[in-house]
Amino acid sequence: MDYRDKLVLAPMVRVGTLPFRLLAAEYGADITYGEEIIDHKFLKCERVINESLGTTDFVEKGTDNVVFRTCPQERGRVVFQMGTSHAVRALKAAEIVCHDVAAIDINMGCPKAFSISGGMGAALLSKPELIHDILTTLRRNLDTTVTCKIRLLKTPKDTVELARRIEKTGVPALAVHGRKIKDRPRDPAKWDEIADVVSALSIPVIANGDVFEYEDFKRIKDATGAASVMVARGAMWNASIFSAKGKTPWEDVKREYVRKSILWDNDVKSTKHTLKEMIMHYSCLELPEGKGVIKCETSADLARLYGEEDYYNFVVSNRK
């Protein structure tokens, strides 16, 4: 994986499934992260070749629950992001998927209670020895690229010190979200503190935070000196943010997402969550479209809502 001059889709829970990753890539994303998946859950999965879809599925044993789905089209750019608090367990989980993805990334920035309480995500930021153990164990035992994504610590000095320790593990890149654990999305990202990390490291830094327009990719690179740029909400609201040609109207992007969700048999809860996020940003869930999405229980329901019944029937009838 080359981490310089890349536009990167950030990991987003219930959003970063296969259809959305492929949509972002079509618009210009060079690297696409999947949603964070917890190692405990992934260890309960088995690898299944889905000949009907042409995908590789990781399915929870004894169920039909697809925890992670990928396909050959994204093999060179998809990053599997894992939540973990234990080096050996992380390795066992990574070994299941490492040959089907371009890289494994360890989440060290999630501030949500479920992550923190499990010693994962941002809880790792205060445990540099454990970070070292996880990253070196994965790098020593896998042929696949291994990276991690962090948040800012309480002081710029602390962040730089941790980043230097991470660099010494041999990872080829580091993603930095320009917010601290206590910060909320509405709080401005601290690009100047990302710049401090960039100045201190020799490996590529991927800057993340407050990228909402294509022009922001250049703005944050100029402000921080980062090698690459990662975007979350800006892409969730309109995946065409990655296009140098300018944004496509969100209604068109939304419809293409629905079609891709049908094509790749995406979990309807994931599709609904992503659509609701788009609608809440550009419109309102209380209007007919929003209410319609909430009522949908199947992909067929969504196809009817968006006038894609013929496409849905064609796709389903042509599956092997």
Active site positions, annotated: 110
* DSSP conformation letters of 15-57: T-SHHHHHHHHHHT-SEEEPPPEEHHHHTTEEEEEETTTTEEE
Contact of 262 with 298, CB cutoff 8 Å: no
List the strands of the sheet with 66-70, edge to edge.
Answer: 45-50, 55-60, 66-70
**Alpha-carbon distance 239 to 20, whole Å?**
8
Angle at which helices 250-263 and 18-27 cross, to 10°: 130
Residues 6+ apart with CB under 8 A from 75: 100, 101, 102
- Tokens encoding 7: 């536009």
Amino acid at 299: S
C-alpha 210/C-alpha 99 separation (Å) is 33
Q: How far is the CA of 307 from the CAs of 299, 310, 312, in angstroms?
A: 12, 8, 10
Angle, in degrees to the nearest 10, between helices 87-97 and 128-141: 40
Helix (H) or strand (E) holding 228: strand 228-231
